[in-house]
Chains A and B, each alone.
Chain A
Amino acid sequence: MALFLVNILDGLVTGLLLFMLCSGLTLIFSMMGVLNFAHASFYMLGAYFAYQISTITGFWLGLLVAPVIVGVFGALIERYGLRRVHKYGHVPELIFTFGLALLIEEVIQFFWGKSQMAYSEPEALNFAAFAIAGNSFPAYKVFMIFVAMGLFLTLLYILTKTRIGMTIQAALSYPETVQNLGHNVPLVFMGVFGVGTAMAGLAGVIAGPVLGTFPGMAVQLGSIVFVTIVIGGLGSLWGALVASLIIGWLQTFAAAYNVAMEDILTFFGFTKPENIWDHPLQDLWTLTLPQIGPILPYLLMVFVLVLRPQGLMGKRET
C-alpha cells in the first residue's frame, strides 16, 4: 500500500512533466495545424541553457532566464523561419521543424559535447521532503509538482479569462475574421509559438536535473509527446493534462509491478514448457510487465484512435 502511494506520487510527477511539454505543443498545433517536430528540442535547449547559467549564477536564475531565452529563440524561428515556409503548405513546414530538430541536436553536441552534463538540483531543495516506508520523496519533486500545476492554472486563466486569451482562441479558429477585426494575427501566432517553446524550455529546466541533460534527451521524449497529445485530443489543454497524467501513471505502474506472463499463462491453465530456453514461445513466456511498459502508451494511442479518433477531449474530427 505504501509503495502504491509512492508510485501515485511518482506517476504524478512524470505526468505533470509530460504535460508541460504537451501543453505548448498542442497549442502550437491547433494554431498552425502542423506538428512541431522540434518541440522536444526546445525542451533540450532549455535544459542546456539552464545548466550553462547555473554554472555561473546557480539554479534559480537559470530557472527564470533559460525559458525566456528559449521562448525568444522560438519566436524568432517562427518569425524568420516557419512564417516564410508557411506559404508553401504543411509538408514544407513539417520538414522544416524536422530539420530544425536535427540541427539543434547537432549544435548542442558541437558546443557541449556528447557526455551527460552535471546539471543538478539546487542545494536548497536537495533533501528528502518526506518518506513513505523508507522511500524518500525528494523536495525537488514536490517543487516540480507545484511549478507544473502553477503553469497549468496560469495558462488556463489566460486562455479563458483574459482578452489576450480570447483573441488567441478566436485566431485559432477563424484567423481571417480576427484579422479583419483589426488584430495582428501573425503577431499572435508568433507569441503563441514563443510561449509554447518557452514552456517546453521550462520543462527542460526542471526536468534536466532529474532525467539527465544529454544530447539524446529530446529524442527520448519526442515520440511520447506526440502520443500524449493525440490521446488527449489535438489542441485541447485539458486533454493534454488528462492524457499526460494517464501516461505518467501507466508508465510508473508498469515499471513498478513485476507481473510476469508466466504467472498469467499458468493461471489460465497452461503449463510452462520444460526446456524454456529452446522453446519457440520463449519470448512470450518470459515477458514481464516492466519490459512492455514503454510500449503501453502507444497501445493506448491505437485504442483511442480506433474508438475515439478525435482524442479523449478533442473537438475536431481531423
Chain B
Amino acid sequence: MNKFKSLLVGAVVAGLAATSAMAQEKVRIAFIDPLSGPFASTGNQGLSIYRHAVDELVNKKGALLNGAAEFEIVPFDNKISAKESLIQLQVAIDQGIRFIAQGASSGVANALTDAIKKHNKRNPDSQVIFLNHSAVDPALTNDKCNFWHFRFDANADIKMDALTDDIAGNEDIKKVYIIGQDYSFGKAVAAAATRFLGEKRPDIEIVGNELHPIGKVKDFTPYARKVIASEADAVITGNWGGDMVGLGKAIMGAGFTKPIYTYYGATSGITANFGDQGDGIVKLAGAGQVNPPLSADAEAFTASYYEKFPELDLGQPQMANVAPMLAAAINEVGNADDVKAIAYALEGMEHDGILTGKTVMRESDHQAIQTVTVQGQASEGLTFDYDNSGHGMIAETVVELASADEPTTCKMKRP
C-alpha cells in the first residue's frame, strides 16, 4: 500500500513536472518592422497589437496545443530597410524562429517573400512561414505569390473596391480628384481607383490624377488650391504619415467640405491633427473595425488594449488575427515544428476574426478575405477614440468577405 502511495505521488509529481516543463515551451514569432527612425510609430503600434493578441487570444486562454505551449513575440528592428530586414530574417532563422511577421512597407515585404522562398527551397529542415500583416501591394498575392507567404490585411485593390463602392453609392459625387505619393504604392492606388470607378460609375469624371514627391512637400496649399479649382466632389489618396496630415489639413483649410477618401487617414497623431475639421469629411478604407465593436468580446478586447497601451491605437484590426489563426494551424498539426504542414493548415482556414468578422485565408493566393469597412471620422457615437483626441473612426459601409470573388493571377506552386 505504502509502495503504491509513493508510486502515485511520484507519478503525480512527475506529471506536474512534465506539464510545467511543457508550459514553458515557447513558440517564437519574429516581428520584423521599423522600431526606430521616422516610421517607428507604425512599427510600435503593430508590435503592441501583436503582443495584445498573443496574450489575450492565445496565451491566457491556453489556446496553443492545449496550453502546452505559448507564443512569444521577438521584435527585430529593420529600420524600414529591405537590406536590414534580410539580415534580421537570417538572424531570426539562426535563432530557430520559424514564423516571420512583417508588414510596414511593401518594398520590404517583396524582398522578404523572395528571400523566404529561396531559403525554404534550399533548407527543407528549417523552413519558415511569412506572416504579412499589413503590406498591401496586390502583387504579393498575384504575380509574386508564393506558398510560404500569407497576407492578413486586405490588399490595396480590395480596399479600393470597398472604397469605390462607397463612392458609387453616393449620387452627389460626380467629380473625383486622385492624388498620391510618387512611388509604386501611390501609382497602384491611382490605377485601382481609375479602374474601379470606370467599372462602377463611368459617369464620374476624374478631374485630377497626380503624384507629388514623397516626403518632400513642405506645404500642400498649392495642391489644395488645385483640388478646389477642379470643383471635385471627393478626393482619393493613398498618402500616409506626414504627407497625409499635410495634404488633409491643406485641403480642409482651403475650404473643402466634401469627403476625402484615404487608406491611412487615422491614428499616429493624424486624427488628433484633423480634429473637429475632419469630422464627417475624412474617410478610411480598411480591414475590420473598432467602432462600433462587432461583439462584446471585441469590445472587451479593445478596451483591455487601451488599458495596456493608452498612448497607442488599435489602428490595424487585422493584425489581431495572425496569432489566433497561426495557433489554430499549429493545433491542427499537433506541433509547432512541421512548418510545411502548418502552412497547409493555414491555407483555406476559416476564422472568426475578433475585429474582422468571418475571415478566410483564400487557398488560391493566400489572401485573407475578411470584412472591409469604409470608416468616417466622427466625435459622437464612439466607443473608442484615436490619439486620445475625442475623435475616432466609425464603420459606415461594411462589406463582409469583401472581394471574395476577385480573380487572382497567382499560380501557386506547392511543395
A interface vs B, CB < 8 Å? 3, 6-7, 10, 13-14, 113-118, 120, 128, 131, 133-136, 138, 210-212, 214-216, 220-221, 224, 251-253, 255-256, 258, 288, 290-291, 293-294
B interface vs A, CB < 8 Å? 38, 40-41, 182, 210-213, 216-219, 221-223, 225-226, 228-229, 231, 242, 245-246, 249, 253-255, 268-270, 272-273, 275, 311, 387, 389
Closest CB-CB distance, A50 to chain B, in whole Å? 15
Which residues of chain A are within 8 angstroms of B249 by Cβ–Cβ distance?
A: 210, 212
Interchain CB contact under 8 A, B269 and A134? no
Interchain CB contact under 8 A, A118 and B273? yes
Given contacts A120-B273, A214-B269, 19 further A-B contacts (CB under 8 A): A3-B229, A113-B41, A114-B38, A114-B40, A118-B275, A118-B387, A131-B255, A134-B228, A135-B228, A136-B255, A210-B219, A212-B249, A221-B218, A251-B218, A253-B222, A255-B217, A258-B210, A290-B223, A294-B217
Interchain CB contact under 8 A, B229 and A133? yes
Evaluate whether A116 and B38 lie within 8 angstroms (CB atoms) in the complex, with A14-B219, A135-B229, A210-B219 already known: no
Evaluate whether A116 and B268 lie within 8 angstroms (CB atoms) in the complex, with A211-B219, A256-B222 already known: yes
Which residues of chain B are within 8 angstroms of A14 by Cβ–Cβ distance?
A: 218-219, 221
Which residues of chain B are within 8 angstroms of A115 by Cβ–Cβ distance?
A: 41, 268-269, 387
Which residues of chain A are within 8 angstroms of B231 by Cβ–Cβ distance?
A: 134
Closest B residue to A3 using CB positions? B229
Interchain CB contact under 8 A, A118 and B229? no
Closest B residue to A117 using CB positions? B269
Which residues of chain B are within 8 angstroms of A258 by Cβ–Cβ distance?
A: 210, 226
Evaluate whether A114 and B41 lie within 8 angstroms (CB atoms) in the complex, with A211-B218, A291-B182 already known: yes
Which residues of chain B are within 8 angstroms of A13 by Cβ–Cβ distance?
A: 221
Closest B residue to A209 using CB positions? B249
**CA of A116 to CA of B274 in the docked complex: distance in angstroms?**
11
Closest CB-CB distance, A155 to chain B, in whole Å? 23
**CA of A290 to CA of B253 in the docked complex: distance in angstroms?**
20
Closest CB-CB distance, A275 to chain B, in whole Å? 17
**CA of A306 to CA of B219 in the docked complex: distance in angstroms?**
29
Closest B residue to A118 using CB positions? B272
Which residues of chain B are within 8 angstroms of A288 by Cβ–Cβ distance?
A: 210
Interchain CB contact under 8 A, A138 and B217? no
**CA of A144 to CA of B249 in the docked complex: distance in angstroms?**
17
Which residues of chain B are within 8 angstroms of A113 by Cβ–Cβ distance?
A: 41, 311
Which residues of chain A are within 8 angstroms of B40 by Cβ–Cβ distance?
A: 114
Which of A6, A135, A288 has most B Cβ within 10 Å? Answer: A135
Which of A128, A220, A224 has most B Cβ within 10 Å? Answer: A220
Which residues of chain B are within 8 angstroms of A216 by Cβ–Cβ distance?
A: 38, 242
A-B contact pairs, 19 of them (CB 8 A): A7-B225, A10-B221, A10-B222, A10-B225, A14-B218, A114-B38, A115-B268, A116-B269, A117-B269, A118-B272, A118-B275, A134-B255, A136-B253, A211-B246, A212-B249, A220-B218, A258-B226, A291-B211, A294-B216
Interchain CB contact under 8 A, B38 and A215? yes
**CA of A210 to CA of B213 in the docked complex: distance in angstroms?**
19
Which residues of chain B are within 8 angstroms of A131 by Cβ–Cβ distance?
A: 255
Q: List 6 A-B pairs, minimum CB-CB distance, nearest first.
A: A115-B269, A136-B255, A116-B269, A118-B272, A255-B222, A256-B222
**CA of A113 to CA of B268 in the docked complex: distance in angstroms?**
10
Which of B245, B253, B311 has most A Cβ within 10 Å? Answer: B253
